[in-house]
Amino acid sequence: MSPTADRPAPSAAVPQDRLYDGLILGVHLATLDGEGYGEIADGALGWRDGLLAYVGPRSALPGAPEALAAQVIESEGWITPGLVDCHTHLVFAGDRAREFELRLQGASYEQIARAGGGIVSTVRATREADEDALLRQSLPRARTLVNDGATTLEIKSGYGLDYANERKMLRVARQVGQTLGIQVRTTYLGAHALPPEYAGRSDEYIDAVCEWLPRLHGEGLVDAVDAFCEGIGFSPAQTRRVFEAARALDLPVKLHADQLSDLGGAALAAEFSGLSADHVEYTSEDSVRAMAAHGTVAVLLPGAFHVLRETRLPPLDAFRAHGVAMAVATDCNPGTSPLQSLRQAMQLACTHFRLTPLEALRGASEHAARALGHRDRGVLKPGARADFVRWTIGHPSELCYWLGGALAGDVYAGGRRVGGAG
């Protein structure tokens, strides 16, 4: 997507002789442009028409601040790029808190599923909710993510599992972005699980998934296509059929890959020049090489790793050795990762996967943007979208240090304040 694709209309209140709509002074900038944090002390950040226009030291501004911008803000703390949550399932109805309690009391996933729980219960609740109810339940989760620093969200379908309800989920995802003033990238995940009405007929269900895709894309509801390639999901051959349907429409693909076993999912995603392979705990080094060759991002999902108490780590050293970018996301969903803070996902990535705070921050901004196909955000530099967060911290490493807390003072998307505690 080009840097101007989502540009807001120019503000009529700003005289044309002003360089900037707004200008923030006195903060430390973590630009992530170049090596390390890209720190600029006593920095200045100016934006116009939804894009960053000045990123640098206050002392190098091309004039007196009051003459440069209609809105001049003296502040403190740190500013980073806006965070990008590149893997969520946050549009759903109901919850599975009771199942969480039952698992802690010794019930197995199979026992819960046989009793009507598991993903089937979320599908049932999502199908029963109308569009307005689904939006009401989903908006608070999205708003919480925004208030904690997220300025771009990916939202998947996959709890409808029929045409009407997949469409409903994608429509609600679009409404979330419009309501909150942020960009939402929608991902069609019809191949998430086999619905009860297709029991024993998984190939027929994949036929249906591929048939629904052009219709949903024709309504402008699909930005990318995903699938769950796993023994309890869909086979590589079935996933390939979904990807071929996406390629026929020139839609990018991403994949739930190698979470529970190595079926070569990450390599399959790379073969289709996929934006990302997600989870990737069991990904082989051959698949890592394929990802590197095709620029496929590895999306780490430490929330699910944490909740499921997994022990198999993703091949982090191989990703580093082969130059595969590592993104970090919440995987916000009702069953395996009820996580509503991308900053907490960063902390978990440091704790469980031993990422450095710098790797985690880049993973939740620059690399997460790449995992959605964006090249216009995730760093602070002129021409990028004016998506940024002012944090009440003394150093960026604190974003991965504190467990909880309201650290995002102000959250800006496209040059407009959309959230934060300030």
Q: Per the annotation, does 192 bind a ligand?
A: yes
Low pLDDT (below 50) residues in the chain: 1-15
DSSP per-residue string spanning 92-106: -SS--HHHHHHHHTT
Give the dihedral sign, CA 60/66/69/75: positive
28 in a known ligand binding site? no
Residue 119: its pLDDT value, please? 86
Spatial CA neighbour of 151 closest among 78, 256, 57, 79: 79
Structure tokens, 157: 């379908």
The per-residue pLDDT for 17 is 66
Please give the Cα distance from 59 to 45 (Å, whole number).
12
Give me the residues paired with residue 388 across strands: 81, 412
Q: Write out the two tokens for 160.
A: 């409808």
With H, G, I as helix, E, B as strand and everything else as coil, classify residue 204: helix
CB atoms inside a 10 Å sphere around CB 42: 12
Token match 């990737």: residue?
Answer: 280
Give the pLDDT of residue 8.
35
Amino acid at 311: T
**pLDDT the model gives residue 292:** 98
Identity of residue 388: F
The residue to which tokens 């116009």 are assigned: 48
pTM of the predicted model as reported, rounded to 2 decimal places: 0.94
Flag whether 259 is marked binding: yes
- Domains recognised in the chain with CATH numbers: 20-81+380-419 (2.30.40.10), 83-371 (3.20.20.140)
Q: What are phi and psi of 194, to 5 degrees?
A: -85, 120
pLDDT tens digit sequence for 291-311: 999 999 999 999 999 999 999
Residue 357 near residue 116, CB atoms below 8 Å: no
Tally of CB atoms within 10 A around 290: 22
**Residue 165 counted as an annotated binding residue:** no
Which pair of structure tokens corresponds to residue 68?
């440069």
> Is 336 marked as binding a ligand?
yes
309 is in an annotated binding site: no
Is residue 96 annotated as involved in ligand binding?
A: yes
3-state SS class at 353: helix
Do the annotations mark residue 351 as ligand-binding? Answer: no
* Residue 374 counted as an annotated binding residue: no
